[in-house]
Structure 1
Amino acid sequence: MKMLAIDLGKQSFHLHGIDAHGVVISRKVSRTKLESAVAELEPDTIAMEACASAHHWGRQFRAAGREVRLVNPRFVKAFVRGSKNDAVDAEAIYDAASRPTMRFVPVKTTEQQDLQSLHRVRERLVIQRTSLINHARGLLAEYGVVLPKGPWRFRDQAPQAIEEAGLSDLARELFTELLDQLRDVEARLAKLDAELVRICREHDACRRLAALPGVGPVIATALVAAVDDGRHFRSGRELAAWIGLVPRQYTTGGKPRLGGIGRRANHYLRRQLIHGARAVISRLAGRDDRRSAWLKGIVARAGFNKALVALANKTARIAWVLLARKECYMPG
């Protein structure tokens, strides 16, 4: 058998393929019998959607000497015929992976998944910290205590404001508990940030990326976790488009129409790159090098927000060169 498509699940998997005699094979197997069923069919290539557990199974099948093709679920959807079920999904995966022009998702290594998991945990802690601060600020406002925005200002001013607000013992106890939770979250967040810094210093590609303006340990490690060495993208523009830093296009009849950046993106990487660009543009005053002059011109012509996206786009393109060609960043 040349290719076998697998619709992944937690405990149930559906296989779809065509053997050498043209007979369609469509069967449902359990998790414990998946590897033995694949070994029995002996396919050269295995196609799956790039969804939950796909990278794990991709590593397992690749270790067995088989080619693995992971297809973006958005590309598979166009091949679904009829009502959606596991058998129809497996057939759609087979059809999508058979297309000669289909783009495939590379299988992540365990090191990449470890690093990406660290970023996911860190993102959850950041959201939790924001939620705690907003909750406490909202409750304090009910007692007439209004604090300025910003986590650092809240952390510095909240304890004294609570003591001086003349609150009851119960209210003071509740707010003290919220502040204790906030300190615990920030301590765990600081531990993860220190781990990212350590990884960035030890990883050669991360060190080269961190030399870029607006790129620190968080962005450098996130790029390596997401795209590895960038060899799966033909150019820096493809990487920038995958991240979501190019205009949304709707062209018909030879008339190009470009809009803003769309929703189809790696939202975490895009957000981090734009935050890094914001840090660079906010420090433009007093700089007169060519890069700063270019940025000032965009800010003057298009505004601050579009300049952020333009700089993030340029950063992503340069990052692809550093990763794919293993070069070092040379300012100017």
Structure 2
Amino acid sequence: MKSANYSAYIGLDVHKDTIAVAIASPERQGEVRFYGNISSAKDSVIRLMKKLIKLHEPILVCYEAGPTGYGLYRLLLSMNIDCIVVAPSRIPKLSTNKIKNDHRDAVALARLLRAGELVDIWVPDITHEAMRDLVRARSCAKKDTKVAKQRIQSILLRAGKIYEKKMWTVRHRVWLANQSFPLPSQQIAYEHYRQSLEQIENRITQLDQEIDRLLPDWSLNNLVNQLQAFKGVGRTIAISVVAELGDFSRFSNPKQIMAFLGLIPGEYSSGATVRKAGITKAGNVELRRLLYEAAWSYRTNAKVGNWLVTYRPDSVCQEAKDISWKAQQRLCFRYRSLVAKGKKSQVAITAVARELLGFMWDIAVTTQNQRV
């Protein structure tokens, strides 16, 4: 949170059509009043802010992150108004408060902003936001692919048609195309499922092409290349990690980024009683899944295999390669030692994924310092 002396703290409860506005005086026990509702149109926001600046300059504005995006944030910055976007999950709330409306939400935001109790999020630039939207769209399409394949397998299983060899290869797809059913209605349903899968795969191809087009203009393109130095971290995982986490330098140490993605152990302790729990599972579920996927590569012995030699980008610097090799040696040993102690493979992979994220942070900070 920015440290400055403000004459007023403005809380905005933002919706698609309206914005509820509340104003808190700078004094610790000062007045917090509800200003009213305005239209969310750009002109209305500009008129309101000009009026508030005349009355209270300087001001600090906040609103919750949500489906309306960051357009309001960028508009306020263009007017030289300090603004923060607040993480909704980190807003303090009373369990006894059973009344919720726009009026109360705006007043609560203004009061908490003045008290310094709100946690602001990192706001991406327009290019980064576009890349993140593309990555999320691709992730959704991959999930749709899984559903579409399951539907095809289900209708074939009901008809007693089973493919014994490896599935979804070129040979398997030829076999799928040659399948026929006794009733025309079943054939139509089957072809519908196949066409649906083909359409989804075409969408993924289009999204990959758009990601390739946007990647050179992305300020974090170099970081995407450097992260591919790691074993198990391909282009898709590297782009997804950078798109979701953004600027790694906002985390002062690896433990913060581990906690951000919910990879640290939970705890329920009181007095002399100490109870450990599983990981907190906070943050992005899909990103955590991708880290698990990469971590499975460290079950084998450490070596620079054909995958790293063939598919690692040429732009990977020597420092990133050194960190990658150090990570591979440690993580491969880490997995084997945990399994040897009787830990389940899923628990060991979680520990490997957590430390892999720490090594990613190391590469991000190292390469950034080199550019500076």
**Class of the TM-score when normalised by the shorter of the 2 chains:** 0.7 to 0.9
Does the Cα contact within 8 Å between 1:11 and 1:31 map onto a contact in 2?
yes
Letter in 1 for 2:45: L
Does the Cα contact within 8 Å between 1:295 and 1:307 map onto a contact in 2?
yes
Letter in 2 for 1:321: D
Who is 2:159 aligned against?
143
Q: Confirm whether residue 207 of structure 1 aligns to residue 225 of structure 2.
A: yes
- Correspondence for 2:23 among 14, 17, 26: 17
Q: Confirm whether residue 28 of structure 1 aligns to residue 6 of structure 2.
A: no
Does the Cα contact within 8 Å between 1:47 and 1:71 map onto a contact in 2?
yes
Identity rate, percent:
20
Q: CA deviation at 1:120?
A: 1.6
Equivalent runs, 1:62-141 vs 2, <5 Å = 62-78=77-93, 81-100=97-116, 102-141=118-157
Q: Distance in 1 between matches of 2:213 and 2:348?
A: 31
Q: Distance in 2 between matches of 1:106 and 1:316?
A: 19
The 3-state SS of whatever aligns with 1:78 is: coil
Letter in 2 for 1:190: T
Does the Cα contact within 8 Å between 1:277 and 1:312 map onto a contact in 2?
yes
Q: Distance in 2 between matches of 1:91 and 1:51?
A: 18
Q: Distance in 1 between matches of 2:138 and 2:183?
A: 35
User: With structure 2 as the length reference, what TM-score do the two structures score?
Assistant: 0.78
Does the Cα contact within 8 Å between 2:10 and 2:60 map onto a contact in 1?
yes
Q: CA deviation at 1:64?
A: 1.5
| Cα gap change, 1:171 to 1:72, in 2 (>3 Å) | same
The number of residues matched between the two structures is 326
Q: Distance in 2 between matches of 1:234 and 1:198?
A: 32
The 3-state SS of whatever aligns with 2:160 is: coil
Letter in 2 for 1:316: L
Residues 156-194 of structure 1, C-alpha deviations (whole Å, 9 max, x = no match): 425525635553344333322321221221122133234
Q: CA deviation at 1:13?
A: 0.8
| Cα gap change, 1:176 to 1:20, in 2 (>3 Å) | closer
Letter in 2 for 1:41: L
Who is 1:318 aligned against?
359
- The worse-fitting range, judged by mean Cα deviation, of 186-195 and 209-218 is 186-195
Residues 222-247 of structure 1, C-alpha deviations (whole Å, 9 max, x = no match): 23222322232221111111111111
Q: Distance in 2 between matches of 1:76 and 1:118?
A: 29
Q: Distance in 2 between matches of 1:54 and 1:124?
A: 19
The 3-state SS of whatever aligns with 1:105 is: coil
Q: Distance in 1 between matches of 2:146 and 2:155?
A: 14
Q: Distance in 2 between matches of 1:314 and 1:199?
A: 30
| Cα gap change, 1:57 to 1:162, in 2 (>3 Å) | same
| Cα gap change, 1:145 to 1:44, in 2 (>3 Å) | same
Q: Which has the higher contact order (CA 8 A, sep 6+)?
A: 2
Does the Cα contact within 8 Å between 2:32 and 2:110 map onto a contact in 1?
no
Who is 2:290 aligned against?
272
Q: Confirm whether residue 290 of structure 1 aligns to residue 336 of structure 2.
A: no
| Cα gap change, 1:147 to 1:91, in 2 (>3 Å) | farther
Does the Cα contact within 8 Å between 2:26 and 2:114 map onto a contact in 1?
no
User: With structure 1 as the length reference, what TM-score do the two structures score?
Assistant: 0.86
The 3-state SS of whatever aligns with 2:193 is: helix
- Tell me, which stretches of 5 or more residues in structure 1 are unaligned? none
Q: Confirm whether residue 281 of structure 1 aligns to residue 298 of structure 2.
A: yes
Equivalent runs, 1:289-308 vs 2, <5 Å = 290-291=329-330, 292-301=332-341, 302-308=343-349
Q: Distance in 2 between matches of 1:145 and 1:285?
A: 40
